[in-house]
Structure 1
Amino acid sequence: MSHDKKHDTMQKNRFRGLILLFFLSFLAPSLTAQPDCTITSQQLFPLCKGTSVTLTAVQQPNCVYEWSFNSLTTTIITFDAVETINVTLRVRDTLTLEECLSTPFEVSVHPEVNIGFEQMQLTCTNGDSDNGNTAMVKAVATGQSGPYTYNWDVRPIQIAPGNPSLAIGLKAHLWYFINVVDQNGCTTKDSIYTKAYPNPVIEIKSTPDTAFIQNPYVTFEFTNKSIDTVQVTSHYWEMGDNTPRVDLEKPVHVYTEVDDYSVILTVFNQYGCDTVYLKDVKVLPIKLSIPNVITPNGDNINDVLIITEGSTEDETDNPLKSVSSDGGIRPLSAYYKKTTLVIFNRQGKKLYESSNYNNDWGGAGLSDGVYFYVLQCEGFKSNEVYKGSITIFGSGN
């Protein structure tokens, strides 16, 4: 090798060495320095409960992060402050395997405010009337961060003068909300469901349960099932037909038209609260259906003459129409104010007579054959007469 070539080779090796030293000078700190595990935050502590917290670590190459709070592996974590806690961070360099553990970073939270409620006055359940807007609720905040500011979320605003913790003029059975702010500016929210005076338990009875236009007299009465705890001091009835209301204990009302009626009973308890109860009443037209055959053979099928209401222009035949609320067949007195049934033989001899017939004639003592009847009915709207024949078959006489 010539002297010049040897000199060039030495120059190249020297240059390469300088480059390597320059590279190692930058690489060496990363091979030997400890990772940085400092935790920082831009927020001032302590915080209000529920505030979003952001903690930050230094971004470093080749490093992994492990937060003690929730095992996240990012350089920035965010969470809601619920209580005072200490957070630590472990940082590990994946090349040098060096690692560090931070000192505990305290995320402190202001003391919690507790809100208690006292309903100082009940109200009636009818919120549409004046006596249904009288509830009063007082909020009491306790804790270590008073004094407190009370902000009721009530519309319209109904706060007692000089006492913002007291909400007045509230309705029953509604949720009302309040925000309480302490001296640190922290807000605590809570709510209360307002209570009411108890309503009486009322049972309404109508006799009959279904009336007919030819005998449209209905008697109403009510029973207070809660008399031991809630008194009924007064009441009145509205009969559903635009007649004046009445305050009788046991009113008898006359309905003059066929219709469905909704009867309203309003009662007042000892607290001055009024409560409304409903009772539906039907008034039906009437046209009697009288059988033309009975078979009094003792089999309990068609043994007696049973007169029921038949079809009308407004109704089709329905075998249940004649059944009262207690399950029995209605007597003729349910249909008309007064009735008289007379049964004759072919010679015109009177064999049977009954006022307000009760569906119980079975032709006792009579032989099989054809007989005749006259049924006179006195009604509220008009008087009616039914005539026809009836055949007795299977009497055994």
Structure 2
Amino acid sequence: MRSFFIMVVLFMAGAQVYGQETILPDTTSSCRADSVLIIAESGYDGYIWSTGDTLGFIWAFSSGEYWVDTHIGDSLFYDDTTYLNIVDVSIVQSDTSFNCGDTIMLSIDPTFYECFWMPGDTVTDSIHVYPRIDTTYYAFFTDPMEPSNYCTDSIRIEITPIIILDTIIQTSMGCPEEDKAQLEMTVSGGFAPPYEYEWSKGTPLYSDPSKVTKVTDGPINYVVIDTIGCTLKGEYNVKAYTIPEVELIADPADTIYLQRPYIEFSYENPLYDSLGADTFQITTFTWDFGDGGTSHYSPVNHTYQDAGTFIVAVAYDTYYGCKGTDSLTIIVKPVKFKIPNVFTPDGNGINDLFIISYDSGGDGGNGEDPAYKFGESDDPININDFYNSNTLIILNRWGQKVFEANNYQNDWDGDGLTDGVYFYILDCKGEHEDKTYKGAVHIITAGGNQ
């Protein structure tokens, strides 16, 4: 005899009983069972049942009235009652499985009760069924002498397919999201041929529906049906050509400066470089530099005309015509320098050189800041990263040249000059404009930093 479970949620207004695998969840009846589980509503601090149990549930073994007292704390008390009616009838057979094409006779015990079967939609004490797919059959019992005495039972029948998938082959492939793939299937077994074929996407061939065309990549579901309705169901993952991921390269960097605004763009194709397969070969490549300029070459040099942020986009085609895209961000900044007004070439390793740095927060002026001294927050730069060329001249107070360097490299240590005030002229040549920075610098050695 099978066990049958009922969950009863108890409220002040009355009890509700839910039968397992029924379609009438509010019934207070259960068909024949070894035991029935009655569960009270949760959220209480204690329970006392008519059976003497003190948990939130009880197992009931016979029809009858069951009550429970509950409480919350020491001041709130509730009670409720439910009536459980276990009807002494059930389906004789238990849940089972068999091959598609087989049949089974379902019957009830005792046959005194009126029984309505679904599916089947017939009233009889036994029914001959031949399911072709997994099916749950319900039996609705009613006592002909007492219509209020009723219950519902069920039986689950699982079907083992007898159609065999021999092969499923992808015969052609497309790019991702293109409907260019084709599949063909061969099956055997079952009560066939001929078979019927159903595909979840694509277009089956009219002359041979075991073949399907115009399929996109990703999962496709199929159903094969034989002449008596037995089925074979499955899923196949349709493949597409892989679009290689390129690595975009900006040389010298992705941040450049307006007076030297040159970048060489190129790309690498790691998959093709390592495997050499046609699938990963790139045949055409188009750059969009974000400023209206384009190119079909790689590597390619480009010159920016304005400062700003530019999204450099690339579009490429593979050997099989699949399209890929990628992008990177290029920042073109205006040139802003900080030039110190003092340095201390005393050999202590601190502020020993006349170092020009980039002013990341300046206003783009000429760098003549009488309050500025070179400090730890300033990084020395290569001036030729900012301009095409430069010349630095240092004059003493009488206008005599004491130092000159073409393409100055931030390496002047004062050349042993005496302490005092000197004057610099930094002449820079840029792509779009030339600029001259002028100012005074104080060399201090004997007294250290000031």
User: Secondary structure of 1:204's partner?
Assistant: strand
Residue 196 of structure 1 corresponds to 240
Is the 1:367–1:395 Cα contact (8 Å) retained in structure 2? no
With the length of structure 1 as denominator, give the TM-score of the two structures.
0.67
Is the 2:335–2:386 Cα contact (8 Å) retained in structure 1? yes
- Higher mean C-alpha deviation, range 112-121 or range 382-391: 112-121
- Higher mean C-alpha deviation, range 271-280 or range 248-257: 271-280
User: Secondary structure of 1:82's partner?
Assistant: strand
User: Secondary structure of 2:223's partner?
Assistant: strand
Residue 211 of structure 1 corresponds to 256
Q: 1:228 to 1:370 in 2, by over 3 A?
A: same
Residue 312 of structure 2 corresponds to 263
The one of 141, 158, 166 aligned to 2:203: 158
The code of the aligned residue for 1:180 comes to V
Residue 361 of structure 1 corresponds to 412
Offset from partner CA, 1:217-237 (integer Å, 9 cap, x none)? 111122222213233333232
Once residues 139 and 150 of structure 1 are traced to their aligned partners in structure 2, the CA distance between those partners, rounded to angstroms, is 9
- Higher mean C-alpha deviation, range 266-275 or range 218-227: 266-275
Residue 338 of structure 1 corresponds to 389
Displacement of 1:389 after TM fit?
Answer: 1.0
Residue 184 of structure 1 corresponds to 228
Number of equivalenced pairs = 310
Once residues 395 and 306 of structure 1 are traced to their aligned partners in structure 2, the CA distance between those partners, rounded to angstroms, is 20
Once residues 351 and 309 of structure 1 are traced to their aligned partners in structure 2, the CA distance between those partners, rounded to angstroms, is 25
The code of the aligned residue for 1:152 comes to W
Q: Does 2:195 match 1:148?
A: yes
Q: 1:149 to 1:389 in 2, by over 3 A?
A: same
Once residues 429 and 288 of structure 2 are traced to their aligned partners in structure 1, the CA distance between those partners, rounded to angstroms, is 28
Displacement of 1:186 after TM fit?
Answer: 4.3
Is the 1:258–1:284 Cα contact (8 Å) retained in structure 2? yes
Q: Looking at both structures, which has the greater relative contact order when contacts are Cα pairs under 8 Å and sequence separation is at least 6?
A: 1
Matches within 5 A, 1:192-341: 192-209=236-253, 210-226=255-271, 227-229=273-275, 230-243=280-293, 245-310=294-359, 311-313=361-363, 329-341=380-392
- The percentage of counterpart residues that share the same residue type is 28
Is the 1:118–1:138 Cα contact (8 Å) retained in structure 2? yes
Is the 1:337–1:378 Cα contact (8 Å) retained in structure 2? yes
Q: Which has the larger radius of gyration?
A: 1
Once residues 198 and 206 of structure 1 are traced to their aligned partners in structure 2, the CA distance between those partners, rounded to angstroms, is 25
Is the 1:262–1:281 Cα contact (8 Å) retained in structure 2? yes
CA RMSD of aligned residues (A): 3.6
The code of the aligned residue for 1:303 comes to D
Displacement of 1:180 after TM fit?
Answer: 3.1
Displacement of 1:376 after TM fit?
Answer: 1.0
User: Secondary structure of 1:333's partner?
Assistant: helix
User: Secondary structure of 1:228's partner?
Assistant: helix
The code of the aligned residue for 1:348 comes to G
Once residues 428 and 352 of structure 2 are traced to their aligned partners in structure 1, the CA distance between those partners, rounded to angstroms, is 24
Q: 1:389 to 1:314 in 2, by over 3 A?
A: closer
Residue 133 of structure 2 corresponds to 49
Once residues 194 and 167 of structure 1 are traced to their aligned partners in structure 2, the CA distance between those partners, rounded to angstroms, is 12
With the length of structure 2 as denominator, give the TM-score of the two structures.
0.60
Q: Which has the higher helix share?
A: 1
The code of the aligned residue for 2:131 comes to L
Q: Which stretches in structure 2 are left out of the alignment for 5+ residues?
A: 1-107, 121-126, 366-374
Once residues 299 and 321 of structure 1 are traced to their aligned partners in structure 2, the CA distance between those partners, rounded to angstroms, is 19
Is the 2:419–2:445 Cα contact (8 Å) retained in structure 1? yes
Once residues 422 and 393 of structure 2 are traced to their aligned partners in structure 1, the CA distance between those partners, rounded to angstroms, is 11
Once residues 383 and 179 of structure 1 are traced to their aligned partners in structure 2, the CA distance between those partners, rounded to angstroms, is 75
Residue 428 of structure 2 corresponds to 377
Once residues 403 and 230 of structure 2 are traced to their aligned partners in structure 1, the CA distance between those partners, rounded to angstroms, is 94
Once residues 206 and 321 of structure 1 are traced to their aligned partners in structure 2, the CA distance between those partners, rounded to angstroms, is 27
Q: Which has the higher strand share?
A: 2
User: Secondary structure of 2:130's partner?
Assistant: coil
Is the 2:244–2:269 Cα contact (8 Å) retained in structure 1? yes
Displacement of 1:195 after TM fit?
Answer: 1.9
Once residues 171 and 204 of structure 2 are traced to their aligned partners in structure 1, the CA distance between those partners, rounded to angstroms, is 14
Q: 1:81 to 1:189 in 2, by over 3 A?
A: same
